[in-house]
Structure 1
Amino acid sequence: MPPVEHSRSQPGAVVTDPLLNANFTLDSSGVAGFFGGDTAVHGMATVNLFRGRRWGGLYNTPGSLEIAKRYGQLANARVCKGLFPGGTDDPSQLFGLDGKVGPRFLAARSGSRFEKTGHLAALLARMARRAPYESVYKNRGKERITTPATVTIIDLPYEPPDTVQPELPYNHSALLAFVPIGASIGACVGCALVADWWSFSNILLGMFANGCACFVLGSGRLTFKHHRPASGAPPGDGIFRGETGVIVVRGGEGAVNALTRGRFFLQYEAPAESCRTQGKVAENRDGQAEGSQAVAQLPRTDDSLDGDMEKQVGENQAEEEQEAGRIAKEAQERERKARDTDTAPQGGQPNSFAIGLCSILLTAQFLVQLLLVPQGVLFGQVMFVCTLAVSWGYNTYLSSIDREDIQTKILCKILKLEDKNIRKFEFGTWTAMSIFALLALQPKDPLPNSPKILDDLLPNDTEVWAKWKDIMREKMGTSGEWQFTDDDRKLRKQEPTDVYEKQQCDKAQELLVALIEDAKAANERFRKEYPKSPRLCE
């Protein structure tokens, strides 16, 4: 189809085309690819994090093909699998709610060890890195400084339920959506006034496709879930070990478990297949009950005939029970997966048909606009490009919003974690930091696994470190100010006679004294920062 002639007004135009006599045209391929789709994809990822965001997608946006390729993977349909291969079908990972690897965790009292934790622990570590603290260099001279390390102490005051649907925060970006929506509506009106129905249809198609995608993808309810701890479990106090320090978490097993084994996911409405399966189970059970009642109400006229009928009814009932048992087993398996935090719970997947329809619609939008934009007049093409420009600016703004900050705030609200529950300290050596962390882990009772934690934080096993660790194991069970004897500061009872061995022994002796001073400085600082700790009472 040839492009519309630009030298005369369109039939039915209400106003005169202001660009009627312009001597330039727009290249259709340039219009279609004028803006990239990365910002549109990242902007769509915020659709489940803001209140009312799902309703703000009625605007013509660039990057429709990229959005379809990214989120079309959620559609469990053969056509969509062929159009959008690869990727993941987990909504929480596609929207950035899961997938990050957290630091290693060691439980102080139960002895549990997690070599890697999940997304929530990564958010906690990120928050700990940003927590303010006083630099150790301000106290230079009071303690030895080699490799500064930090310890962040977080007291968890609340154990959340197994499943929580937090209230989404309000963000003014939902109101800013009226800017691209208004621009798209205004462009449609402008195209209608000059009777450019090609451009009008293209813009309207983009508004409809993006609006449907936002509504369907944003229908998921952000939900938090974690494993329920066993009854009688000890406190969940433990240590997250990072690159430049550690995070000490203190609280109930359920509170710490929420960080180590909890996760965010998107709770969509239960699929119709699940409802049909449950209805079929109930229907089979009702049928079995009716069959039993029918057998009981049969008139007993002939014993042989009655026996044949009972045998036939019994066989039918056995088949129905077998079928009902199979269906019930499948339902139990789905329920088991729903209780598992590693998989999406019941209703955790969006409607495959709606997702597939939106993805195909977005793909069709890209193809239709690529082919039909040149059929419009120049003024309509300019209006089309203007809608893309405004939408691109809005998507860029959405992409600039830190989604992890929002998730961290939601997590803190779930755990009722406030700034007063977080304290961060910096030490000049990893040794002093480790001792301070161990002291923070035993405010009331001595740690049963303190040697194990000390070996994990400081894996050195030379003669100097072995003696120092033995001394620390004895001190960890005492309260008050630590006092060290001359025997503690002496590595060996007898000095070696060999000159080389004596030099090495002197260096080791110097290191032992330095390590003891680090431990003493950590103990003094802990007593200063936590003067009301029960373990510090004489």
Structure 2
Amino acid sequence: MPHPPDIHPGNFSLNVSAIAGFFGGDEAISAIQTIHHYKTRKFLGWYNSPGSWNVGKKFGKLAKSRFWDGLFPGPNEEPAKLFELDGKRGPKYVASRSGSVLEHTGHLANLIMEKSKEELGVLVPGARDVTKLNKVTIIKMQPVPPHKGRHALAAILPIAASWITCAICGWIRDWFCFSMILLGIISNGMFSVIIGLACLQLQGVSTAPTAPPGDGMLLDGDNIVLLLGREKEVATITRGRFILEYNSMHGEEPVRDEYAAIGFFSSLLVIQLLAQLLLIPQGTFTGQTMFLISFAVSWLYNLYLSSINNEYIQERSILKIFHLQKKHMRTYICGTRTTAAVFTCLMLQPPGFKPENIICNFIPNDTQVWITWRKKVLDVMRTRNGDRVACHNLLEITNEEKRDLGIDNENLLKKLLGDAKIAYDLAMREQEWLTR
């Protein structure tokens, strides 16, 4: 049988071993970090992926024992934090009924706030010139499926490229490049399966079945999110978190090193780099070209996966878990802080509500104008009768107040009360939406 033809480039060598394990590391890590959001992704890693050194060193930290800690030094982070599913600090939260305040919420509240910032919103006409835009998003929480995407179809390309180039290397009997491509396919495929075994879950907060609604607001500068709904759902957003559980990797009996398989295949990825550095230069020009082609196609696929922002996928997951759709979310852009403050308080107005705390969170000023404005606004909130004419009358300046304030402060107060009237009318319309 004649030997298959080979290209003879003279003394020229590609020397692709120099980029074998380091090229494409960031893209490979980003691609792995989204693996748990897709049901089938763990079975689609059978290709010769670049960045094996970076991937192995980062995720090998999940392995917990003295041996693995020595091989992969660094803190043993929780899986959810390593995959950037937890760890971000969320905005301040104020409960409308109890008035309790969480200075910092968790990762889920951060996702909800970031999602609200992306909303365009409806501009609320103001009674005076815009001073500073405040965005208010109302979310009507719903009582609490695998994510699907085009990645499965796209994965055909790197898998096919890796296996075809491996076969070509075997056909020309370049066993060095053949074995290195095959090792890359097996090590990346097994690592994907093992790392993807974790079950992604949303860990909520236990609440009493008879708990009152958990209405409250998230505050992040000029961005406000109103969470309206049951205590269970609201508490999950403010205090819940994503978790990854690898319990399926062992039986019911506890074991000392539950992440040993992850440590083993992470070390295999590191060994893969060392083997490539030694053996790829021994291959033929054609074999090295095939190895480079498999790397290039795999890098493009990893680049595609890493372009899908991890936080965006998590935001979509949150919306899906809570069955939140466009019809459950409204966003308004208020031209002044006073409009936003009154609108927010009127939307967070259950029985027993103490609006003083909410108003003071927005506008802590203690000048005579603001004290008078707060008193009139609070009178409107306490009436709770829904009579537009009566409430607007409460927002008019009395003759006695005119005498006490003087002309300049009177004009300022008129404008502030005009903001309150606009906020009141908007809130009454939104209350109809909430009760539907």
TM-score by structure 2 length? 0.92
Q: Contact 1:229/1:253 (CA < 8 Å) preserved in 2?
A: yes
- State the Cα distance separating 1:112 from its structure 2 match: 2.1
Stretches of structure 1 that go unaligned for 5 or more consecutive residues are 1-11, 161-166, 278-348, 496-504
Which SS does the other structure have where 1:15 is aligned? coil
- In structure 2, the partner of 1:511 is 412
1:63 aligns with 2:41: no
**For residue 5 of structure 2, what is the amino acid of its counterpart?**
T
- In structure 1, the partner of 2:367 is 462
1:82 aligns with 2:70: yes
- State the Cα distance separating 1:135 from its structure 2 match: 2.8
Alpha-carbon distance between aligned partners in 1 of 2:395 and 2:305, rounded to the nearest angstrom: 62
Q: Contact 1:210/1:362 (CA < 8 Å) preserved in 2?
A: yes
- In structure 1, the partner of 2:116 is 128
- In structure 1, the partner of 2:161 is 183
Stretches of structure 2 that go unaligned for 5 or more consecutive residues are none
Report the CA distance shift for 1:488/1:38 in structure 2 as closer, same or farther (over 3 A). farther
- Which residue among 122, 135, 144 is the counterpart of 1:150? 135
- State the Cα distance separating 1:506 from its structure 2 match: 4.0
**For residue 94 of structure 1, what is the amino acid of its counterpart?**
L
- State the Cα distance separating 1:70 from its structure 2 match: 1.0
Cα deviation 1:113-163 (Å, max 9, x = unaligned): 111111111111122112232234xx46x54421121211111121x3xxx
Which SS does the other structure have where 2:253 is aligned? helix
Q: Contact 2:9/2:285 (CA < 8 Å) preserved in 1?
A: no
- State the Cα distance separating 1:416 from its structure 2 match: 1.7
- State the Cα distance separating 1:469 from its structure 2 match: 1.2
**For residue 357 of structure 1, what is the amino acid of its counterpart?**
F
Report the CA distance shift for 1:226/1:143 in structure 2 as closer, same or farther (over 3 A). same
Q: Which residues in structure 2 correspond to 1:292-441 (within 5 Å)?
A: 351-441=258-348
Report the CA distance shift for 1:148/1:350 in structure 2 as closer, same or farther (over 3 A). farther
- State the Cα distance separating 1:403 from its structure 2 match: 2.2
- Percent identical pairs in the alignment equals 37
Cα deviation 1:141-189 (Å, max 9, x = unaligned): x54421121211111121x3xxxxxx22111112211211111111111
Q: Contact 1:151/1:247 (CA < 8 Å) preserved in 2?
A: yes
Report the CA distance shift for 1:470/1:16 in structure 2 as closer, same or farther (over 3 A). same
Segment of structure 1 superposing worse, 475-484 or 351-360: 475-484
- In structure 2, the partner of 1:266 is 244
Alpha-carbon distance between aligned partners in 2 of 1:255 and 1:468, rounded to the nearest angstrom: 34
Cα deviation 1:269-315 (Å, max 9, x = unaligned): 256485158xxxxxxxxxxxxxxxxxxxxxxxxxxxxxxxxxxxxxx
- Which residue among 213, 219, 224 is the counterpart of 1:246? 224
- In structure 2, the partner of 1:219 is 197
Report the CA distance shift for 1:424/1:28 in structure 2 as closer, same or farther (over 3 A). closer
- In structure 2, the partner of 1:35 is 23
- In structure 2, the partner of 1:15 is 4
Which SS does the other structure have where 1:20 is aligned? coil
Alpha-carbon distance between aligned partners in 2 of 1:530 and 1:270, rounded to the nearest angstrom: 47
**For residue 227 of structure 2, what is the amino acid of its counterpart?**
V
**For residue 367 of structure 2, what is the amino acid of its counterpart?**
T
Report the CA distance shift for 1:377/1:487 in structure 2 as closer, same or farther (over 3 A). closer
- State the Cα distance separating 1:381 from its structure 2 match: 0.8
Cα deviation 1:80-104 (Å, max 9, x = unaligned): 2122222442111111211222111
- In structure 1, the partner of 2:354 is 449
Q: Contact 2:96/2:348 (CA < 8 Å) preserved in 1?
A: yes
Q: Contact 1:75/1:355 (CA < 8 Å) preserved in 2?
A: yes
- State the Cα distance separating 1:508 from its structure 2 match: 3.0
Q: Contact 1:74/1:350 (CA < 8 Å) preserved in 2?
A: no
Q: Contact 2:20/2:277 (CA < 8 Å) preserved in 1?
A: yes
- State the Cα distance separating 1:366 from its structure 2 match: 0.6
Q: Which residues in structure 2 correspond to 1:90-239 (within 5 Å)?
A: 90-136=78-124, 139=125, 142-158=127-143, 160=144, 167-239=145-217
Q: Contact 1:148/1:428 (CA < 8 Å) preserved in 2?
A: yes
- State the Cα distance separating 1:529 from its structure 2 match: 4.3
- State the Cα distance separating 1:492 from its structure 2 match: 6.4
**For residue 419 of structure 1, what is the amino acid of its counterpart?**
K
Alpha-carbon distance between aligned partners in 1 of 2:119 and 2:394, rounded to the nearest angstrom: 34
Alpha-carbon distance between aligned partners in 1 of 2:230 and 2:191, rounded to the nearest angstrom: 41
Which has more radius of gyration?
A: 1
Cα deviation 1:30-61 (Å, max 9, x = unaligned): 34267231101111112111121000111111
Q: Contact 1:48/1:221 (CA < 8 Å) preserved in 2?
A: yes
- State the Cα distance separating 1:390 from its structure 2 match: 0.7
- State the Cα distance separating 1:16 from its structure 2 match: 1.0
Segment of structure 1 superposing worse, 264-273 or 126-135: 264-273
Alpha-carbon distance between aligned partners in 2 of 1:360 and 1:45, rounded to the nearest angstrom: 18
- In structure 2, the partner of 1:484 is 394
**For residue 332 of structure 2, what is the amino acid of its counterpart?**
F
- State the Cα distance separating 1:231 from its structure 2 match: 4.4
Q: Contact 2:379/2:394 (CA < 8 Å) preserved in 1?
A: no
Alpha-carbon distance between aligned partners in 1 of 2:190 and 2:217, rounded to the nearest angstrom: 45
Which SS does the other structure have where 1:423 is aligned? strand
Q: Contact 1:40/1:63 (CA < 8 Å) preserved in 2?
A: yes
Segment of structure 1 superposing worse, 367-376 or 82-91: 82-91
- State the Cα distance separating 1:22 from its structure 2 match: 4.1
RMSD (Å), alpha carbons: 2.3
Segment of structure 1 superposing worse, 143-152 or 35-44: 143-152
Cα deviation 1:426-451 (Å, max 9, x = unaligned): 11101111101111112xx4452210
Segment of structure 1 superposing worse, 77-86 or 56-65: 77-86
Alpha-carbon distance between aligned partners in 2 of 1:486 and 1:59, rounded to the nearest angstrom: 72
